[in-house]
């Protein structure tokens, strides 16, 4: 009916996807299943934050650290480590009673410090008021003879923009040197963590390539190889494997194979076939 249409007889094929994405999805599904069973809940959406945090804080073999540490530069904090308690006290806590006592003491100290700061602020204000020089009283003669204040002084007293800027200059706190230094050190730590993650990924790629070359040594022209037929292309009575001969090598990584029926159209990589120990076919027996 249509000249350009080619009918392919075979089983339906699955669309190709990235294996790492499929494994990650399966891992998250298993973690959600375990969370739902542990919490006796059917609402899987409520467990997503816990699964996400667990996934991002798990040690990654490729980058030699957790994704959380590579992004933020610090190790993730769990439990009471994420609280405001000092680390020295957290290391000494062994029971719930000790934790409760430390929390109560810490809150009491915070409350007393806040009250002391408030009292000190009020005392400072009182001292400033007492130290201020009182304005001398003006006699009637001075009031009649002294000239009126200049325009600049009255403008400084009445201009709202100047008063606002002066008040902001007095009230806005300036960043201290210690805080700026802490931020700089934090940024440097994050950068070093990300550089280390990149280097570890390159090392992992090199290791995988070395393992692949050791597992799949290169083939030579004239070697007999065994090609596995995909299940979607194989009939019920068709053989599982097909013998072929290496007819050529292109770009040192792609092999052109041929058998008695002719040269195969596609190029094969080394992991797509196995080399036979004996030469079952020769170049004279195949049609190239």
Q: Which pLDDT band, with edges at 50, 70 and 90, does 1 fall under?
A: low
Check if the beta carbon of residue 256 is closer than 8 Å to that of residue 249: yes
Name the percent of the chain lying above pLDDT 90. Answer: 24
* Domain assignment present for 166: no
* Domain assignment present for 258: yes
* Domain assignment present for 266: yes
pTM of the predicted model as reported, rounded to 2 decimal places: 0.50
- Asked whether residue 165 carries a pLDDT value surpassing 80, the answer given is no
Fill in the DSSP letter of residue 41.
-
Check if the beta carbon of residue 281 is closer than 8 Å to that of residue 224: yes
The phi, psi pair for 183, rounded to 5°, reads: -65, -40
Residue 199, pLDDT score: 93
Check if the beta carbon of residue 280 is closer than 8 Å to that of residue 224: yes
**Domains contained in the chain, number:** 2
Q: Which of 37-41, 90-94, 282-286 has the highest mean pLDDT?
A: 37-41
**50-107 tens-digit pLDDT:** 999 999 999 998 899 999 999 998 888 777 666 666 666 666 777 777 777 777 777 7
Q: Which of 62, 69, 58, 56 is nearest to 199 (CA)?
A: 62
Residue 96, pLDDT score: 76
For residues 128-152, average pLDDT: 47
- The helix/strand/coil state of 193 is helix
CA–CA separation, 225 and 218 (whole Å): 12
Residue 121, pLDDT score: 52
Q: Which pLDDT band, with edges at 50, 70 and 90, does 198 fall under?
A: very high
Q: Which pLDDT band, with edges at 50, 70 and 90, does 113 fall under?
A: low
- The helix/strand/coil state of 142 is helix
* Domain assignment present for 33: yes
- Asked whether residue 261 carries a pLDDT value surpassing 60, the answer given is yes
CA–CA separation, 33 and 50 (whole Å): 12
- Asked whether residue 37 carries a pLDDT value surpassing 90, the answer given is yes
* Domain assignment present for 43: yes
How many CB atoms neighbour CB 257 within 10 A?
23
For residues 185-214, average pLDDT: 89
Q: Which of 68-77, 129-138, 218-227, 254-263 has the lowest mean pLDDT?
A: 129-138
Instruction: Compute CA distances 255 → 79, 216, 259, 275, whole Å.
Output: 56, 13, 13, 12
CA–CA separation, 128 and 133 (whole Å): 10
**172-191 tens-digit pLDDT:** 555 567 788 888 888 888 99
* Domain assignment present for 215: no
Residue 82, pLDDT score: 65
Distance of CA 114 to the CA centre of its chain: 38
- Residue 204 exposed, middle or buried by CB count within 10 Å (0-12, 13-18, 19+): middle
Which of 30, 54, 76 is the endpoint of a domain? Answer: 76
Check if the beta carbon of residue 197 is closer than 8 Å to that of residue 63: yes
* Domain assignment present for 51: yes
Residue 35, pLDDT score: 93
Residue 119, pLDDT score: 44
CA–CA separation, 56 and 40 (whole Å): 24
Residue 176, pLDDT score: 63
Which of 46, 76, 106 is the endpoint of a domain? Answer: 76
Which of 37, 54, 76 is the endpoint of a domain? Answer: 76
- 16 vs 19: which has the higher pLDDT: 19
Residue ranges making up the domain that contains 264:
224-275
Residues 155-182 as b or e (16 or more Cβ within 10 Å = b): eeeeeeeeeeeeeeeeeeeeeeeeeeee
* Domain assignment present for 25: yes
């Amino acid at each position: 009916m249509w000249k350009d249409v080619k009918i392919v007889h075979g089983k339906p094929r699955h669309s190709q996807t990235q294996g790492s994405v499929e494994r990650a999805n399966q891992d998250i599904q298993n973690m959600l299943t375990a969370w739902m069973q542990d919490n006796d809940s059917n609402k899987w959406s409520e467990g997503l934050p816990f699964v996400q945090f667990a996934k991002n804080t798990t040690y990654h073999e490729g980058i030699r650290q957790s994704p959380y540490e590579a992004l933020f530069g610090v190790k993730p904090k769990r439990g009471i480590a994420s609280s405001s308690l000092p680390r020295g006290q957290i290391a000494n806590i062994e029971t719930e009673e000790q934790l409760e006592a430390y929390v109560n003491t810490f809150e009491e100290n915070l409350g007393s410090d806040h009250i002391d700061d408030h009292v000190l602020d009020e005392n400072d204000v009182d001292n400033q008021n007492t130290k201020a020089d009182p304005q001398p009283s003006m006699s009637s003669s001075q009031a009649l003879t002294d000239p009126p204040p200049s325009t600049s002084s009255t403008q400084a007293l009445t201009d709202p923009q100047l008063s606002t800027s002066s008040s902001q200059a007095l009230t806005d706190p300036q960043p201290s040197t210690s805080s700026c230094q802490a931020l700089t050190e934090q940024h440097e730590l994050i950068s070093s963590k990300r550089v280390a993650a990149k280097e570890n990924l390159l090392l992992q790629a090199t290791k995988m390539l070395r393992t692949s070359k050791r597992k799949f040594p290169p083939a030579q022209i004239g070697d007999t190889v065994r090609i596995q037929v995909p299940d979607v292309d194989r009939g019920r009575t068709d053989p599982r494997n097909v013998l072929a001969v290496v007819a050529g090598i292109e770009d040192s990584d792609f092999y052109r194979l041929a058998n008695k029926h002719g040269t195969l159209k596609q190029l094969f990589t080394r992991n797509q076939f196995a080399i036979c120990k004996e030469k079952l076919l020769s170049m004279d027996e195949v049609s190239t």
